[in-house]
Amino acid sequence: MKPEKVLAGKLLADLIIQSYNKMGCDALNVGAYDLSLGVDYLRKKEKSAKFTFLSGNILDKHDRNIFTPSVIKIVNGVKVGIFGLCDDKLKLAKIPGGNKFKVVNPLAKAEEISARLKKEGADYIVLLTNLNIRYCRRIGQRGMPIDLIVGSSKKNRISLPILVQETYIAHVERGGKSVGRLDVSFLGPAGVEALPAALRYKGKTVGENLFLLNHFFPLKIAMADHPEIGSMVKKVETKLSRLQQVKATKSMTIAGSRPAIRPGDSYVFAKTCAKCHPERYQRWLKTSHARAYQSLVKQEKHFDEECIACHVLGFEQPGGFTDIRQVGNYANVQCETCHGPGRLHVAAKGEEKMIKVLAGGEMCLVCHIDERSPEFDLETYFHKVCGPAAGKKK
């Protein structure tokens, strides 16, 4: 792993642990991302955590648990057993020190640990895992004494919770843009009928004694940051930005155009488009697209390769540029971001068609995906930026 990525990983690891400490986290299941800097590093970081690192199926070469398999927490007099499982398809060769441990079959460990927790008196058993939804269903179908499975597989987007036999399965949303909360009600003799009707029809009854209601709360920009955690995040973002800047200064490729999409074609930039399309240009100037690059600069993310591609024109694209330090005329989301390079179009005085057709606005979805633009509505935003006529196919 490159030195700058190791440093960035350590900064983020410290931030996550400190944040979870502030939040009062009880347990964390160890998954692939947690092991990206190696199992030895993670074991050292565990000492600074006020919560338990869980894994029931990550073992050393002598079949001993490397992390705590399970814990029992008493909440309002209820014994809650929590255990963790990692996907056994983990690519150990890509993990530093991956030859020091193994990941054994999660299904067998699920049976073993859930039975033990039940024997130890757990009233309610929770499994934390990065297994995909299909595997979670398999666990639920085995009839184990597991009341809730919380999954975090990267292959799953936000989904409604499901009930498999008597196991309730919920997946967290990708990208960390929502906070999930599961309300657990222990039913009395009157059963579910004792609950308000508004709750009864939204949740699920599990067995005879449990009623579960799942919520997702979108995290919006307008929400105020926690005073301590928000400050911690900003400090880390500043350090990461400086790290990206150092990387860009020392190791980015030298500026130069890549092969154009069509022979002789290249970018001419928005001001050239304005000569024939003044009304479109004036509309564009009023949109956030015209200030997209500056928005990155304000956040000190203009050296972040994952961000810049959607805030400039032609970064690492045919006919565009490759040096992240030399944005120049390519700054912002311009006409040619969607239409493609326009030199041939301009030279032919409009007789040569542009490469991309805008009808429908499908090109917007290249950047405006759920993880980056959770509130993006294609039709509304497309017409707002390009005008109603842009959506009409010729």
Contact 95, 86 (CB under 8 A): no
> In this structure, are 105 and 198 located in the same domain?
yes
3-state SS string for 116-166? HHHHCCCCEEEEEECCCHHHHHHHHHCCCCCCEEEECCCCCCCCCCEEECC
Give residue 342's Cα distance to chain centre: 35
Predicted pLDDT of residue 67 = 95
Separation CA 171–CA 340 (nearest Å): 39
Same domain, 273 and 207: no
- Does the residue 378 lie in any domain? no
- Mean of pLDDT values over 272-279: 92
Q: Tokens in use for 316?
A: 């690492």
Looking at 24-132, list the stretches that DSSP marks H as alpha helix, in order from N- to C-terminal side: 39-46, 106-119
Count the Cβ atoms, other than its own, within 10 Å of residue 264: 9
Q: Which comes out higher in pLDDT, residue 362 or 145? A: 145
How many structural domains is the chain composed of?
Answer: 2
Asked, for residue 184, whether it belongs to a domain, the answer is yes
What integer pLDDT is reported at residue 249 of this predicted model? 59
- Any domain includes 155: yes
Q: What is the pLDDT of residues 208-237, one digit of tens each?
A: 777 888 777 777 777 888 889 989 988 888
Residue 128 and residue 24 in one domain: yes
The verdict on 214 and 96 lying in the same domain is: yes
Range of the domain at 334: 257-356
Q: Among the three residues 162, 187, 218, which one is the final residue of a domain in this structure?
A: 218
**Residue 255 banded pLDDT, cuts 50, 70, 90:** very low
Q: Quote the pLDDT of residue 162.
A: 82
317: nearest Cα among 299, 303, 333: 333
- Asked if residue 276 and residue 207 are part of one domain, the reply reads no
CATH code of residue 310: 1.10.1130.10
User: Hey, how many other C-beta atoms are within 10 angstroms of the C-beta on 37?
Assistant: 21
Task: Find the DSSP H helices in 252-367.
Answer: 270-274, 278-285, 292-298, 305-308, 335-339, 343-347
Going by pLDDT thresholds of 50, 70 and 90, the confidence category of residue 186 is confident
157 with 51, same domain: the answer is yes
State yes or no: pLDDT of 138 exceeds 80: yes
Mean pLDDT of 42-56: 94
Same domain, 210 and 284: no
Asked, for residue 372, whether it belongs to a domain, the answer is: no
Is 140 among the domain residues? Answer: yes
Amino acid 160: pLDDT: 63
Query: Residue 226 gets which letter from DSSP?
Result: P
Verify that 199 and 341 share a domain, yes or no: no
Judge whether residue 165 has pLDDT over 90: no
> With bands split at pLDDT 50, 70 and 90, how would you rate the model's confidence at 203?
confident
pLDDT band at 291 (very low <50, low <70, confident <90, very high): very high
Nearest Cα neighbor of 28 from 124, 156, 150 is 150
Q: Which of 187, 218, 249 is the last residue of a domain?
A: 218
Residue 248 maps to a domain: no
In-domain check, residue 24: yes
Nearest to 67 by CA among 31, 33, 118: 31
pLDDT band at 251 (very low <50, low <70, confident <90, very high): very low
Judge if 214 and 265 occupy the same domain: no
Q: Is residue 157 over pLDDT 70? A: no
Are 39 and 155 within one domain?
yes
Average pLDDT, the chain: 83
* 169 and 277 part of one domain: no
Q: Are residues 40 and 94 in the same domain?
A: yes
Q: What percent of the chain has pLDDT over 70?
A: 86
The answer to whether position 347 is within a domain reads: yes
- CATH number of the domain where residue 140 is located: 3.60.21.10
> Region 33-50: what's the mean pLDDT?
92
